Structure 1
């Protein structure tokens, strides 16, 4: 199937779909799953719907396989199909799986603003009468931060990220999610908000050395050398952390900063 999808041979693809539709016994289930997952990587909406008609997704080999199907349904804007499958899947599976599938679906819908993704996420939870999980909230934050890197972040969108972060309080996801939003602050030049989040991180982690390690590993080290437009904001944040929170980088991290700045200067000089 993958070979024919790569060359976009519609006749061969349809032939394989016809075969698994006509031979839908247990002995071909693994083959049908394989073909369906391959189709979900494509834009062939009609073929995906055709195979879904004969598949019981509750029997798929892993939750990751099911998530890929909902991602495709989101990407192709097939909401009625997704809703039907959500209800089918809910009958004998844990809520934690359902809420993660809802998140996978919502964040895959193209060109949807952060607040609209969150609304879609909430609406489906209400329809299905399930509670969101920490892991699904975390998915929304990761998606929102990645989405906003490419766009100007409105105050409303940023506030939505902060509300999601509150949902993760006292969970293992909180530190990573907080750092993602701090990075988002650097992209959007929200120094005041970044300092507030660093203060929350300091209150949770207690020791300055650990705080700086987390910030360097999960924030500053993620800024690529090619992203020099964010370098000045990052340096300003480090200065603000020193003045307002008393946080100083260790010699190790200070040396890393110098190397970071030197590499950036060299790249500018080369240009």
Structure 2
């Protein structure tokens, strides 16, 4: 049956991938033939077999095909009638046939038999799946949810009540379950399922609602309901909230499962708040929680990320107290930490400690050793030692490529991909690693050759390899056409943004004005919801213009006007600051005044820093009269500002000239805004 299920799934996957209707029909015909073969061989058509097929028909809105197949299933397996009701309701919801939906609901209202009860439950589950409020509320008035076939079904209903914010219904049914249910855990689990499904609430508010409902219903949270709350907080990376819940449940005498403990650690790793490992370890020790080897590996890894090798070593020593034995992955985490710090001696001492503790090095150990080898002899030694004790992995060959290149043995790095021990499914990834390595070492012609080889074989490039090629071409002042071609290879949005940003900076450095503007437009269209990203990129662009000797002022100004007027993008205040600096460096008084007006046109009010920057720019351009006017607008009460002003006067050698001009000015003359 398992093989038949797999074959049917292949047909469905092929049908989903194609845009050709005839191909999809042929794949469905194949799947149907497999169903027939199963029946002929006496296999029962169970839900795990027919479900993917029905879901595909529902997604495609294929009503007639769905009904025909359901008739076959009902004939072959009459006990499936109730469960098929779920799929039938999902079909009518998918095609938005309200008449059929109402007919099915009415059929439950007028019947009260066993079949009707099973159908009602499955119709309810379909409404929960789609969060169809009208149908859900109608059936909740008819079906007694305290008599459903499983707690999983009731849980689905409470989750939907949460997503739809139906609090009064949730409280009503929670009270009903409390009255009739012998299992108190069910009620607290339903509360957790409901509260974590509530939309648009901060984690703190969800926790508060969780507690309020328990108090109102006079039930105590269980370990499993607390666990749902903790996992919910972890999924949102609210690790501090999750740990507070752990403290609360442990104080109540409840036990945290190892699985939930590890989910907290994974969230900590994702947020990079590695310092929380000490809090977690103290909880484990104080409340006698039950960690496993993976728990310790995560904690040790976090300690090494903080360069706290002392705490990592202590955790290894504490393993025995918790009836655990050290593993190679724990030692590998410490070894990797030392290698990140370029501390080879201590990394090798970890290897000795590992052997002394009777822990056998695994492929991960040797991958670290090979990847950080400084000589060809060490690479060979560790690789041969590895082959005598364990099998090389994909990461091993990547480490070989990296290590040979670091030793200057680029030819040997190229030979790695010819190793017959490489699994065929890993070869493309290893070639991509070689491509990246060669590109980063300036071997562009060889890296392009591998790129073409990968394309000809019908494989796709790893995004990191494409970025390496782009960066390699940029460093060698490569052709813009090739850079555009490589950018098209990036289908992942994040990598595309990275590659596009790099090429934009290349265009700025090499004064490719039209290409820079075109790429900025493409990037802006792609990341419309991320204004911060565009702001950061444009700040980098104009920072480069202000600081680079090779980029002239005219290019920077032309780029600004095109971005501002043609693309309709308003660059940040910082972009104008950089442009003002560039104009000052060029002593271009006319453009200094133009950029000064741009602050107001862009809606940026002048502040102290704006006046100080303009003051310096006017001094550099030797417009002392205007500089004096600006000086009067700068507040003098801040000592730091006074120091900056004096530094500008000293640097620009304008102090004496400015004082002389000020003394000669007619005090009765009306001040006028010379900038206008």
The equivalent of 1:227 in structure 2 is: none
Cα pair distance change 1:87/1:235, threshold 3 Å: closer
The equivalent of 1:76 in structure 2 is: 164
Q: Distance in 2 between matches of 1:27 and 1:14?
A: 18
The equivalent of 1:123 in structure 2 is: 212
The equivalent of 1:132 in structure 2 is: 221
Per the TM alignment, residue 211 of structure 1 is displaced from its structure 2 partner at its CA by 5.3
Per the TM alignment, residue 8 of structure 1 is displaced from its structure 2 partner at its CA by 2.7
Cα pair distance change 1:120/1:132, threshold 3 Å: same
Contact 2:277 / 2:302 at 8 angstroms: preserved in 1?
A: no
Per-residue Cα deviation, 1:207-241 (whole angstroms, up to 9, x for no partner): xxx8543344xx59xxxxxxxxxxxxx67745646
TM-score for the superposition, normalised by structure 2 = 0.33
Per the TM alignment, residue 122 of structure 1 is displaced from its structure 2 partner at its CA by 0.6
- Name which of structure 1's ranges 118-127 and 163-172 shifts more when overlaid on structure 2: 163-172
Q: Structure 1 residue aligned with 2:233, among 125, 138, 144?
A: 144
The equivalent of 1:195 in structure 2 is: 278
Q: Structure 1 residue aligned with 2:188, among 99, 103, 106?
A: 99
Contact 2:191 / 2:213 at 8 angstroms: preserved in 1?
A: yes
Q: Distance in 2 between matches of 1:126 and 1:211?
A: 34
The equivalent of 2:245 in structure 1 is: 164
Per the TM alignment, residue 25 of structure 1 is displaced from its structure 2 partner at its CA by 4.2
Per the TM alignment, residue 5 of structure 1 is displaced from its structure 2 partner at its CA by 2.2
Per the TM alignment, residue 205 of structure 1 is displaced from its structure 2 partner at its CA by 7.4
The equivalent of 1:242 in structure 2 is: 309
Which SS does the other structure have where 1:96 is aligned? helix
Gap runs ≥5 in structure 1: 221-233
Per the TM alignment, residue 176 of structure 1 is displaced from its structure 2 partner at its CA by 2.7
Cα pair distance change 1:121/1:7, threshold 3 Å: same
Gap runs ≥5 in structure 2: 1-88, 317-325, 333-362, 369-394, 400-428, 434-461, 468-676
Number of residue pairs matched by the alignment: 245
The equivalent of 2:328 in structure 1 is: 251
Per the TM alignment, residue 166 of structure 1 is displaced from its structure 2 partner at its CA by 1.9
The equivalent of 1:184 in structure 2 is: 267
Q: Distance in 1 between matches of 2:98 and 2:296?
A: 50
Q: Distance in 2 between matches of 1:88 and 1:251?
A: 52
Q: Distance in 1 between matches of 2:265 and 2:328?
A: 23
Q: Distance in 1 between matches of 2:304 and 2:206?
A: 30
Bigger radius of gyration among the two? 2
Cα pair distance change 1:75/1:91, threshold 3 Å: same
Query: Relative contact order (alpha carbons < 8 A, sep ≥ 6): 1 or 2 greater?
Result: 1
The equivalent of 1:223 in structure 2 is: none
Contact 1:99 / 1:125 at 8 angstroms: preserved in 2?
A: yes
Contact 2:158 / 2:193 at 8 angstroms: preserved in 1?
A: yes
The equivalent of 1:3 in structure 2 is: 91
Cα pair distance change 1:269/1:237, threshold 3 Å: farther
The equivalent of 1:175 in structure 2 is: 258
Cα pair distance change 1:196/1:126, threshold 3 Å: closer
Does structure 1 residue 49 correspond to structure 2 residue 137? yes
Q: Distance in 2 between matches of 1:180 and 1:113?
A: 20
Which SS does the other structure have where 1:165 is aligned? helix
Does structure 1 residue 64 correspond to structure 2 residue 152? yes
Per-residue Cα deviation, 1:84-105 (whole angstroms, up to 9, x for no partner): 1111111121221100000000
